[in-house]
Homo-oligomer: A and B are copies of this chain.
Amino acid sequence: MTAAFIGIDWGTTHRRAALIAGDGTLIAERADGEGALACKGRFGASLEALVASLPQASASLPVVMAGMVGAAIGWQAVPYLDAATPLSALARHLAPVAEAPPGKRWSIAPGYCVRGAAGEVDVMRGEETQLFGALHLLGADAADGSYVLPGTHSKWVRLHAGRITELRTYMTGELFALLRQHGTLASAMQTASADDAAGLRHDSVADDPEFLRGVAEAAAHPVLTHALFGARARVVTGGLAPGAAAAYVSGLLIGAEWADAQRQVSPDEPVRVIGEPALAALHAACAHHHGRRLESLDARQIQLAAWRALATQELTA
């Protein structure tokens, strides 16, 4: 296996690099905390150190980066693609890094900006590369449908004929973190495992009645600020055990996405989730609550499929 290509998912706080061989084989991966915020002013040096840390990697390999590295807060602001541009054209729109030394083939994938019928605007950076991977993994026809990519900013996307036809982003993970770290719900949202991003007290979602109660509440009463105070009212009147509020709030926030999806996604349309197993399980519980089927795609396989496809197109360009 000869190393031929490096793909980097470079987000706000973390990055993950994959070293790919000419035949598409994954040779090595590296993940670290050198996110876009931490690398301000020293992106080039940080990238060279990362490349040097990969086995068999030569400094002359082409590097494609995706994510917030291409935002205004990142290395170089890369304009968004318009939704009319098919995902299959992503490789042709990679932006060369202006600061790259001569001979380096460094480029950044553009995000997408999607405008709705009423003029509303939504954006993504990084997820377009995952969707490009899904398209290659599933095939263009089979990839039609709705996708949820959970996270700090949870994305709901509709793909049709290789294009992003709808995009709705929810500030789910960010709001959960804000409420858990600050404010009047924070102490009740502390759980035994501070690393448990969803705040569940149990090993499985199905075992946590407060998560499911939050999902049901989000479906019945859509005003989030009222539902959030409801968590506090239940805590101070003894109706919600200390430490259980995180699961309830998690249910309210993810449940709000699914309540909205009932209005936005037709009942017979398949929905797929691309995300970490723990978050995918929470979405599966929401899908079950609403009587919908959810197909779970392995986020790592999707990302590797994207790098392989980009490598092929980049190396033959």
Residues of B within 8 A of A184 (CB): 153, 171, 174
Asked if A122 CB lies within 8 Å of chain B CBs, one says yes
Cα A229 to Cα B153 in complex, Å, equals: 8
Which of B171, B175, B230 touches A120 (beta carbons < 8 Å)?
B230
Interface string of A165-182 (1 = CB under 8 A from B): 000111110110111011
Q: Mark A242-270, 1 if CB is under 8 A from B, else 0.
A: 00000000000100110110000000000
Contacts of A233 in B (CB 8 A): 121-123, 169
> Would you give the shortest CB distance from A200 to chain B, in whole angstroms?
19
Contact between chains at A183 and B178 (CB < 8 Å): yes
A53 in contact (CB, < 8 A): no
Complex contact A228–B175 (CB within 8 A) = yes
Of the listed stretches A40-48, A97-105, A217-225, A303-311, name the one at the interface; the rest are far from the partner chain.
A217-225
**Chain copies in complex:** 2
Contacts of A237 in B (CB 8 A): 80, 113, 121, 123
- Complex Cα distance, B221 from A169, in Å, reads 13
Closest to A123 in B: B233
Residue tally, chain A, CB below 8 Å to B: 43
Give every chain B residue within 8 A of A256 (Cβ-Cβ).
Answer: 223-225
Q: Does A291 contact B (CB under 8 A)?
A: no
**When the two chains form their complex, are residues B225 and A225 in contact, meaning their CB atoms are under 8 A apart?**
no
Assess the B178–A229 pair: CB atoms within 8 A: no
Known A71-B236, A178-B182, A239-B121; judge A170-B259 contact (CB<8 A).
Answer: no
Q: Assess the B168–A226 pair: CB atoms within 8 A.
A: yes
Residue of B nearest to A176 (CB): B225
Q: In the complex where A71-B236, A233-B169, A236-B72 touch, is A225 in contact with B175 (Cβ < 8 A)?
A: yes
Q: A234 interface residue, CB < 8 Å from B?
A: yes
- Give, as a whole number of angstroms, the nearest-CB distance from A111 to chain B: 9
**In the complex, residue of chain B having the shortest beta-carbon distance to the beta carbon of A12:** B184
Separation of A121 and B226 alpha carbons in the complex (Å): 11
Are B222 and A169 within 8 A (Cβ)? no
A183–B172 Cα gap in the complex (Å)? 12
Contact B226 A260 (CB under 8 A): yes
For this complex, 6 residue pairs linking A to B, each with C-beta atoms less than 8 Å apart, are A121-B234, A123-B237, A168-B226, A170-B223, A223-B259, A225-B253
| A-B interface, 9 closest residue pairs, ranked by CB to CB distance from nearest | A170-B225, A169-B229, A224-B224, A222-B222, A171-B225, A171-B228, A171-B229, A223-B260, A123-B233
| Interface residues of A, Cβ cutoff 8 Å to B | 71-72, 80, 113, 120-123, 153-154, 168-172, 174-175, 177-179, 181-184, 222-226, 228-230, 232-234, 236-237, 239, 253, 256-257, 259-260
